[in-house]
Amino acid sequence: MKNTAVIGVGQTKFGELWDKSLRDIAVEAGLSAIKDSELEKGQIKALYVGNMSAGRFSGQEHLGALVADNLGLKNVPATRCEAACASGSVAFRDAWLAVASGSIDAALVVGVEKMTDVHGAGALTTLAAAGDQEWEASIGLTFAGLYALMARRHMFDYGTTKEQLASVAVLNHENGLKNGFAQFQMPITIEDVINSSVIADPLRLFDCSPITDGAAAVVIASEDIAKKSGNQAAYVLGSGKGTDTLALHDRKSYTELLATKIAAKAAYDQAKIGTKDIEVAEVHDCFTINEIIALEDLGFVEKGKGGRFIENGKASIGGEIPTNTTGGLKACGHPVGATGVRQVVDIVKMIRGKCFNKLDAKYGMNLNIGGSGATAVVNIFGKEPR
């Protein structure tokens, strides 16, 4: 496998984008990443689109061709990749594989989801398709419900508190304050979280990431092309993907995600670095409990101690592992197919030292999760190639 790097990044504002369509936001993010890469469109040899459910949200499948066509990427091979909320990272990983294999030397990845156009309970039902339809969704088990079961078990096993869950939301809202792309730019307090409406006990409204429209895109290229692009490159040092049972009830543990551990091990092994080398992380906080579990599964903190770790500021900027310093899914918003790519965009900016948060990292990682943990993708980036 050859060395590769992300040489261009772009995204739309995340939020309720009533005046823009699915194709509008995909094109906006894609063009922005191509422009940032300084490549000509003709140099992009393949397109990978991460999207979970445009078929249900927007009545549109076949997003590879849609986005290639509307971006003016004439006749490039295009694929839409889907793994629920990990769709963006799965698309990124397939693009990485295409470039790392030497079959092509540059690809565009666009992650996109337009979630607000559906009416009534549409978004909730659509998202439930990320879990096991026959064993979970069909009996009314929503994603807040699934993560609530995990949170309740984590509280029971390890004494994790509702205040610790709330501290994740508070931190991420604080981090998002200066992120111009974030859906929410407002501070919240522990009291705001624990007094907000119950969604699925113990998770409350502010424990949940929102329904969001948005798109993000990156250009990934060979080391040769990356070197010509100067100091804009963030090298992909490792990429791992794991799966687990689709239904939560089939797992031995509710408090760890095996897929994350598998993906992380593969990425660490490939990158030939360890947890201690990672300086910034964007992890999947679709619900607050998931950021706690993520930091544990990635090895940043011992199992069961993630809540205290975050509460004590160790995941904050200046702490042991600055996490979701752009606001995470909680404040950025969570357009499901876009999130994995958005995480890459943000980590790349930090590797470049050009993120609004002024972090400048030698190594960074993202963890993107699909469903209740049936898919996990971990990517590790660095300033220099392996």
Active-site residues: which are they? Answer: 85, 334
Considering the complex, what minimum distance in angstroms separates the CB of residue 231 from a second copy?
28
- Please list every residue from 212 through 241 that binds a second copy, using CB under 8 A: 241
- List the one residue from 374, 378, 380, 383 that touches a second copy (CB under 8 A): 374
Closest distance between a second copy and the C-beta of residue 126, in Å?
7
Which CB atom, from 55 or from 385, has the smaller least distance to a second copy? 55
**What sign for the dihedral angle of Cα 243, 245, 247, 251?**
negative
Q: How far apart are CA 303 and CA 293, in angstroms?
A: 8
Is the separation of the CB atoms in 251 and 128 below 8 Å? no
3-state secondary structure 45-73: CEEEEECCCHHHHHCCCCHHHHHHHHHCC
Residue 17 near residue 213 (C-beta atoms within 8 A): yes
Part of the chain binding a second copy (CB under 8 A), chosen from 83-91, 212-220, 297-305, 323-331: 83-91
Amino acid identity of residue 217, one-letter, is: A
- Contact by Cβ (8 Å): 302, 155: no
- CA-closest candidate to residue 304, choices 171, 168, 200, 153: 153
**How many C-beta atoms surround the C-beta of residue 188 within 10 A?**
18
Confirm if 256 and 297 have CB atoms less than 8 A apart.
yes
Shortest Å distance, C-beta 64 to a second copy: 5
- Contact map string, positions 5 to 24, toward a second copy, x by CB under 8 A: ----------------x-x-
Q: Which of 25, 44, 84, 226 binds a second copy (CB under 8 A)?
A: 84
How far, in Å, CA of 208 to CA of 290, rounded? 10
Residue 59 interacts with a second copy (CB under 8 A): yes or no: yes
Measured from the CB of residue 45, what is the shortest distance to a second copy in angstroms?
A: 11
CA distance 73 to 70: 8
Q: Which is nearer to a second copy, 26 or 199 (CB)?
A: 26
**Alpha-carbon dihedral 287, 288, 292, 293, rounded to 10 degrees:** -20
Contact status: 44 vs a second copy (CB under 8 A):
no
Nearer to a second copy, 193 or 219 (CB): 219
3-state secondary structure of 229: coil
- What is the closest distance, in whole angstroms, from the C-beta atom of residue 372 to a second copy in the complex? 10
Regarding 52 and contact with a second copy (CB under 8 A), the answer is: yes
Among 76, 211, 286, 329, the residue binding a second copy under the rule CB under 8 A is: 76
Choose one: 89-97, 158-166, 285-293, 305-313; the region binding a second copy (CB under 8 A): 89-97
Q: Does 26 bind a second copy (CB under 8 A)?
A: no
Stretch that binds a second copy, among 48-56, 192-200, 216-224, 343-351 (CB under 8 A): 48-56
ω into 202 cis (within 30 of 0): yes
CB of 351 to a second copy, least distance (A): 23
Distance (Å) of CA 235 to CA 1, 6, 123, 140, 282: 13, 6, 36, 43, 16
Positions in 106-135 near a second copy (CB under 8 A): 125-126, 128-134
Contacts of a second copy in 128-167 (CB under 8 A): 128-134, 137-138
Return d(Cα 223, Cα 237) in angstroms, integer.
Answer: 12
CB of 145 to a second copy, least distance (A): 16
**Among candidate residues 143, 322, 343, the one with its CA nearest the CA of residue 246:** 143
Of 207 and 244, the one with the shorter C-beta distance to a second copy is 244
Q: Which is nearer to a second copy, 233 or 378 (CB)?
A: 378
- Examine residue 36 and tell whether it contacts a second copy (CB under 8 A): no
166 with 207: CB under 8 angstroms? yes
Give the integer Cα–Cα distance in Å for 190 and 266: 36
User: Which positions lie near a second copy, rule CB under 8 A?
Assistant: 1, 21, 23, 47, 52-53, 55-56, 58-66, 68-70, 75-84, 90, 93-94, 97-98, 100-103, 125-126, 128-134, 137-138, 241-247, 250, 258-259, 262, 370-371, 374-375
